[in-house]
Structure 1
Amino acid sequence: MNEYLTPDQLCELVPGTTKTYWAQLRFYGKGPKYLKPSPRKVLYIKSEIIEWLENSARYGTHPDKVAS
């Protein structure tokens, strides 16, 4: 069964991030998948967050330095 995280819980899972950061990612369509069960509620699936983070691994700051 999936574990769901609120934006506050997500900030605890990924130190150094804020609710504003995750809101901006949602707005620009750049972040991980999320659920919107009601107009004021946002939830993230923990396994999706971990996969999204692992897929963002880099070896350097240059765009071509994506980890494989």
Structure 2
Amino acid sequence: MREAASHTAPGAQPEPLLSEWMGRSELAGVLEVSEETLRRWQAQGIGPPLAKLGRRVLYRREAVRQWMVRREMGQGESP
């Protein structure tokens, strides 16, 4: 039987499955808000998109970046 082709360079370590994702505590640290704030934003439908795996909440890094861009304000705009 033939082995499946690998997408990594010879000798390179494969990228971990969840490398594009972060947990609630990591995101809270990055954004400098509390985990409770992230929970509140989720409940209000204003937070970044998330995925739930059982009890675990994960945020895709690129989705968080896009969410931040959508929340950007131009000069002179009030919050």
Asked if 1:22 corresponds to 2:22, the answer is no
Runs of 4+ in 1 over 3 A off after TM superposition: none
Give the whole-Å Cα distance in 1 for the aligned partners of 2:31 and 2:38. 11
Give the whole-Å Cα distance in 1 for the aligned partners of 2:40 and 2:52. 15
Shift of 1:4: 0.8
Relative contact order (C-alpha < 8 Å, sep 6+): which is higher? 1
Partner of 2:29: 12
Structural RMSD (CA): 1.7
Partner of 2:14: none
Partner of 1:42: 57
Q: Which entry has the higher C-alpha Rg, 1 or 2?
A: 2
Q: Work out the number of aligned pairs and report it.
A: 60
Higher fraction of helix: 1
Give the whole-Å Cα distance in 2 for the aligned partners of 1:22 and 1:33. 11
What's the % identity of the aligned pairs?
A: 18
Structure 1 residue runs of 5 or longer lacking an equivalent are 63-68
